[in-house]
Amino acid sequence: MKIAILPGDGIGTEIVAEAVKVLNALGLRFEMETALVGGAAFDAHGHPLPPATLKLAQEADAILFGAVGDWKYDTLDRQFRPEQAILGLRKNLGLFANFRPAICYEQLVGASSLKPELIAGLDILIIRELTGDIYFGQPRGRRVAPDGNFPGAEEAFDTMRYTRPEIERIAHVAFQAAQKRSKRVTSVDKANVLETFQFWKDVVTEVGKQYPDVALDHMYVDNAAMQLVKAPKKFDVVVTGNMFGDILSDEAAMLTGSIGMLPSASLNASNQGLYEPSHGSAPDIAGKGIANPLATILSAAMMLRFSLGQPQAADRIEAAVKTVLSQGLRTADIYSAGTRRVGTLEMGDAVVRALQT
């Protein structure tokens, strides 16, 4: 089992270290190799995704990824910004299906900003198409007035685009996931305004006919955003495009109390996957030892289940996380009165102890 370890920037190095510690405590044999990515790679090699890092990722069975980005890189040309590393990995590895589970642990019901009765028992799976849509559509760029003197004449443009095969394959992923859950899929679109998403709706409906045991409904993205706050438990599997999925999955993350609790998996057709926490690099707290490593540890559990064929080991990690939460240990983002605040390192150590006992 070959794992590419790509910690990245900011808190990425801290949280990935704790996930690696947990993996090593399982007693399984892994071949792990670490490489630079994001801003750290740009500083060392002049590019956020150097050829050696991409090669390592392509040859690995799975990738454990931290986070990339820092404000100091905001003045770089877009092609050199740290975030281009994650986009490059998705494109080069064909990672088209992003799984973002939003689960509210019993112990963290009080950490959510919503009423307990709205989120107790919450278990949503958001499936986001990851390699199409406006993030990858061509053409894109800027136009400037011929004389270059009137800023108001500038314009920037990106193209929203989907092909039938792109929509079909993500729809199949969603329906197959729903068959293993509550057999309900909500497809989120903006078909009332965007031709791209009328096409999305039509294709998803066609694919849905191949899964008569799964109930399909369609919802506009603005209504979906509202319903996630109003009645989140009405959802089970949500499938949507790249941009809408990016936004809705972060919204769903906060229902659980903290984005620091949400793992994610990005898979290609061969189940090779990139596993990362849903949050970013948080440069404002980097190096302080207070980041929550649980999303990264839970991402490692998803890696074991989806790409490495070790579902029992994944179960062990998830059970250990629940044990630690039951013991009242909390990082700053999920801390509440009556619990004990711990740092990144101590939380990782606690999960290891739970695994061993």
Q: Considering 9, 133, 162, 190, which one is annotated as catalytic? A: 190
Q: Considering 222, 230, 288, 315, which one is annotated as catalytic? A: 222
CA distance 56 to 63: 9
On whether the CB atoms of residues 63 and 49 are closer than 8 A, the answer is: no
Q: Is 275 assigned a catalytic role?
A: no
Among residues 240, 280, 274, which one has the least CA distance to residue 262? 280
* Phi, psi (rounded to 5 degrees) for 33: -135, 135
On whether the CB atoms of residues 36 and 45 are closer than 8 A, the answer is: yes
**What single-letter DSSP state applies at residue 282?**
-
Q: Considering 2, 183, 250, 322, which one is annotated as catalytic? A: 250
Q: Considering 158, 246, 322, 335, which one is annotated as catalytic? A: 246
Query: Radius of gyration of the chain from Cα atoms?
Result: 21
Alpha carbon of residue 146 to chain centroid: 42
Q: Considering 2, 91, 123, 135, which one is annotated as catalytic? A: 135
Q: Is 147 assigned a catalytic role?
A: no
Give me the half-sphere count of Cα atoms (radius 13 Å) on the Cβ side of residue 261: 30
Q: Is 284 assigned a catalytic role?
A: no
On whether the CB atoms of residues 35 and 71 are closer than 8 A, the answer is: no
> Among all residues, which ones are annotated catalytic?
135, 190, 222, 246, 250
